[in-house]
Amino acid sequence: MNDLKQCAFRIDPVLWVQKVVGEDPTGWQRRFLRAPRGTSLLALTARQIGKTTAACWAMAHTAIYRPGSLSVVACPAQRQSAEAIRRVRDSVLKAGATLIVENVYGLELENGARVLALPGTDDSVRGLTVDGWIVADEAARLSDDLIAALRPMRARKPEARFAMLSTAWTRTDPFWRAWDGEDEKCMRLQATAGMEGVELDPDFLESERLALGEEAYKREYLGIPVGAGTSPFAWELYEQATRHRAPMAPAGPDFAPAPAVEARPAANPFQQLKHEGAIA
């Protein structure tokens, strides 16, 4: 391969995926791959829309064209992270790269670049310095502690890209709080059913809607989290707040006023003395 092609592939990851990996990224995947260094990305997608695939292409491209770099991917379960490593491996091998370390949870190329699969907890991931990609896949299902452990990995390497990718889950999970937040520096990408360029078969989507029910369907394919558009104050909370409970013991002075005492006329002591002759 001549130097001109290598230069073009280094500059444009989309061209590299098309010509070397042999895949054609969709519109949102192209924007993802072409994100400038140092970018924070949020990608809200439907199921089976290629979010993990896009992240693996990006990490593979960085590993090949940035010698000595480190990229990491974290998923709710490490077996999911391991599957991402397999996809990175497929891409770098198609590019003709040589692997000197290859196992279930990590790769190292001959140029010193590494891609690691992280566990789904924060216990053993702190302390890494990442200059490639930090990918939080299915980020809505990751814990706040794990997200907090991933973010500082680029503190010394501001050129690293930080990407949170997920389908919708709830309005309080770490991904949705970031998606619904006010950080204008984040690049937000959405690829859900019904959007232009999102190729999901209408008949399949209808069967999924009938099988899953409206709420689960909206979450999995439309990017609408559980409870969106409804009040957080459910009927159960209202009933608990208004239900009258009889006390288990009779009300005492701490719970109610003391019972009224019947008024009785007081005896006249002078009347008693008169009867005894002490008063004339």
Tokens of 75: 């998923």
Q: Label the pairing between strands 106-109 and 114-118.
A: antiparallel
Taking the complete model, does pTM exceed 0.85, yes or no?
A: no
CATH number, residue 162: 3.40.50.300
Q: Which domain holds residue 27?
A: 3-192
124 falls within a domain: yes
Q: What is the structure's pLDDT at 197?
A: 82
101 falls within a domain: yes
More confidently predicted of 74 and 267: 74
Q: What is the structure's pLDDT at 29?
A: 96
Q: What is the structure's pLDDT at 183?
A: 84
119 falls within a domain: yes
Into how many domains does the chain fold? Answer: 1
Report the pLDDT averaged over residues 215-233.
Answer: 77
Whether pLDDT at 251 is above 60: no
105 falls within a domain: yes
pLDDT-derived band at 261, boundaries 50, 70, 90: low
How far apart, in whole angstroms, are the C-alpha atoms of residue 86 and residue 102? 10
Q: Write a three-state SS string for 177-213.
A: HHHCCCCCCCEEEEECCCCCCCCCCHHHHHHHHHHHC
pLDDT-derived band at 265, boundaries 50, 70, 90: low
275 falls within a domain: no
187 falls within a domain: yes
